[in-house]
Chains A and B, each alone.
Chain A
Amino acid sequence: MATEPTSHPAPAAVVTVRINGRPLSAPAGASVAAVILQSGIPFRTSVSGEPRSALCGMGICEECRATVDGVPHTRTCQLLAADGMDIRTA
């Protein structure tokens, strides 16, 4: 029983992105943070050198920053994954 609003366009089922050059597929509508977390790759390295990963999942903690299509410090939990996206973690 579908309860989605009819206004919402039916998205393609899967998108493919690259994380540090490695191709990965994700369900359409997934956030970039969800795709990175799924890959097991840390999102960033902290100022004292620790690997870090998403904490809050809702645009607060800034732990999920990554470089997306050349834009550094992108909050990936508030960005939907799109086909062909180039994601770089540090």
Chain B
Amino acid sequence: MTDRLDLLIVGAGPAGMAAAVAASAAGRRVTILDDNPAPGGQIWRGFSTAAAGTYPGAKPLVALHRSLRDHTVDIRSRTRVISTPAPRTLRVQDDGGAADYSYQDLILATGARERFLPFPGWTLPGVLGAGGLQALVKSGLSVRDKRVVVAGSGPLLPAVAATLARHGARIQGIFEQAPLDRLARFAFTLAAHPGKILEGLRYRVTTLSAPYRTSSWIVSAHGAEHLESVDVCIGDTSRRLACDYLACGFHLVPNLELPLLLGCTISDNCVAVDANQQSSLPHVYCAGEVTGIGGLEKALCEGEIAALSSAGKSAAHLFERRDRLARFARRLDVTFAPRRELAQLATPDTLVCRCEDVPRGALETCHSWREAKLHTRCGMGPCQGRVCGPATNFLFGWQQESVRPPLAPARVATLAAPPPSQ
């Protein structure tokens, strides 16, 4: 089955939703593909649960939702892009099977994921990403009276702690690896972003009872079959904390698999785009975290620009605002860049690739991502390096040069279907 679409958007998070609304208003017929059960992306995940209406920042989602409905945008949830069987065509897999979608224009709003760094014990059940535990709580997990340690790096940490505290978790501490002086310089630049200061304050008030420590990081996780405690390094001292969950992520990295597969130029680990959010490929635009980790406001603004540009309309009135938000994104990357001490946490027997259970020791003799894949199967499992790729980039400086289809584990029938006739 081949559908020929006017504008195809991949990702129904803030950037994709904003792009869909703006494009519809400009007269385009819009289809959105998203792999989650419902639109909203990670920040607005789980809108189907009863608690969702209480999220901070739920208001713009409600407005976008209403606009999408008014414009009768076609949202296809639980739909995952697998490959590109022909030019300007995506093959997808959903609950019903496989389908090929040809498009006039494409907007990639594939978002970001957490950067995970290996440390002893990080594969124990009960160790999750910071955004990971937040996502599961938004998806119905109860953390009431659970003891949670929040660690890693990034503006997400206090936000996660606030969400968990609202859901009744007992936060044992927030451990930010970035040093205070870098955070102070970052806070100074926030003067230009009053909205973000308010956001930050709101989080701080909710989590007042939990200490927020800088220059502090997770060292190891312990437990027999499930997490029981963690060791954290605070300044020069190490402390053991008993806990039920560790929520640990080191800022975010863009989801570049689909842009890479299409052949978009990547620069500084983000998709390179021009002022109109157009990638190096004609007809392919990118918006949101995939062009740089900048959060909600940047995603909404870039989504709108991508939609207007792809419709042949001027988005120049939004450029100044977008440029300011993009500068903010670069500040985030600098502020929350992982310190080198974190590269020393994994011991030779600490697993780096969780799919194929490849320990660090087996990787030490390799010189590249490609060599590691060939010799150790690192990055060859079901996640295809989405977790260990950024980790080995940090540990060894390896770059993932290319991506091969299928982008996700796919049914044989999906892979075997012939390409659409053009």
Residues of A within 8 A of B (CB): 1-5, 7-8, 11, 26-31, 33-35, 37-38, 40, 42-43, 46-48, 50-63, 65, 73, 77-81
Contact = CB atoms under 8 A, between A and B. Distances in A.
A47 to B, nearest CB: 5
Contacts of A28: 48-49
Interface residues of B, number: 53
A78 B36 contact: yes
Given A3-B59, A5-B65, 4 more contacts: A43-B125, A47-B357, A56-B113, A77-B135
Interface of B: 35-37, 42, 45-50, 52-54, 58-59, 62, 65-66, 69, 78, 113-114, 116, 123, 125-129, 131-137, 139-142, 225-226, 255, 354-357, 381-383, 386-387, 409
27 contacts: A1-B53, A5-B62, A7-B69, A8-B47, A8-B48, A26-B140, A27-B140, A34-B141, A38-B141, A38-B142, A42-B225, A46-B123, A47-B355, A56-B114, A56-B131, A56-B135, A57-B128, A57-B132, A57-B135, A58-B45, A58-B131, A59-B36, A61-B383, A61-B386, A73-B409, A77-B136, A78-B37
A30 B139 contact: yes
Contacts of A81: 140
B383 A62 contact: yes
Contact of A58 (B50, B52, B59, B132): B132
Nearest to B130: A57
6 residue pairs, one from A and one from B, having the closest CB atoms: A30-B140, A53-B125, A57-B135, A57-B132, A31-B139, A29-B48
* Chief secondary structure at chain A's binding surface: loop
A62 B384 CA distance: 10
A57 B53 contact: no
B69 A54 contact: no
Q: Quick one: which of A26, A29, A55 has the most chain B CB within 10 A? A: A55
Given A47-B356, A56-B129, A29 B381 contact: no
Nearest to B249: A56
A46 B357 contact: yes
Contacts of A62: 355, 381-383, 409
A55 B355 contact: no
